[in-house]
Amino acid sequence: MSLDGISDTTYKQIVGIVYRNSRINLGAERHNLVVGRLAKRCRELRLQTFENYCQLLTSGHGKAELTHLIDLISTNHTHFFREEHHFDFVTNTILPEFKANPRNSVETFRCWSAAASSGEEAYSLAITLEEYARRFGRLLWRMQATDISSRVIESAKEGIFETSKLKLPSPALHDIYFQKGIGESAGLSRVRDAQKEKISFYQANLFQETLPFKGDMHLIFCRNVMIYFDTVSQQHLVQKLVSYLRPGGYLIFGTSESLMGINHSLRSLGRSIYKRES
């Protein structure tokens, strides 16, 4: 067998390894994408067949390569203020509710970007929080941001983006929250340290037993990741996310995602926005 094709047995083995370690469910519709990316990786490693690659994954050196494999098959398509109505809901509903409670006058608003990818979602949320503070007064906040891909989370920590791809709600936001690169960095923009220092980035699997931070979140974004899991894994994930959410906190999924068929105690507010009542 060469890299021109992959046997059903080998493909199922690789799919099984990915599922056991990430819960990502590689359905038949992703076969060509996965094989294409694996073929490129095999050539980089100078492996002659997909069977050789499968042997590597199950060898003593497999753990390091497994991390690379998860990076390869994780889809990280995102952009700033994706599904902008969710950020509008934070501004118009969640934060006014938080600020209206006298007990929150000295409390820190705690949030989690649970599938942060290369950082666009986390920084969009950071800008939303900072803009609310600029308009309506002091707001203490801290954010945790995680992604299963070590490659993209390292990129997120850097906070450097192509200026031409920064599609912000208002052009004025760029100079407030970004530094424009010059010289060799021309065409790039870097998130200002004042925002970065309030965000902690971690490489983490949503299904690992413990996460590197505590729960009691006021807000969790977990958007456009549920679609990669089967129903059993979705049920497990929703239960875990709810356990990290404080009573009265909000959980936001991607608009293409649904909790139909999932047992949960959340109240639906529409447009993939849910609230934990108790």
* Structural domains in the chain, sorted by start: 8-73 (1.10.155.10), 84-276 (3.40.50.150)
Of 71, 82, 110, 147, catalytic: 147
Average pLDDT, the chain: 91
Q: Is the pTM of this model over 0.85?
A: yes
- Band of pLDDT at residue 6, cut at 50, 70 and 90: confident
The DSSP-derived string for 111-125 is: EEETT-TTTHHHHHH
Of 37, 41, 151, 192, catalytic: 37
- Band of pLDDT at residue 1, cut at 50, 70 and 90: very low
Q: Please give the Cα distance from 111 to 32 (Å, whole number).
A: 36
pLDDT, average across residues 250-267: 92
| Active-site residue flag, 147 | yes
- Band of pLDDT at residue 2, cut at 50, 70 and 90: low
- Three-class SS state of 200: strand
User: Which tokens is 59 given?
Assistant: 């060898």
| Active-site residue flag, 193 | no
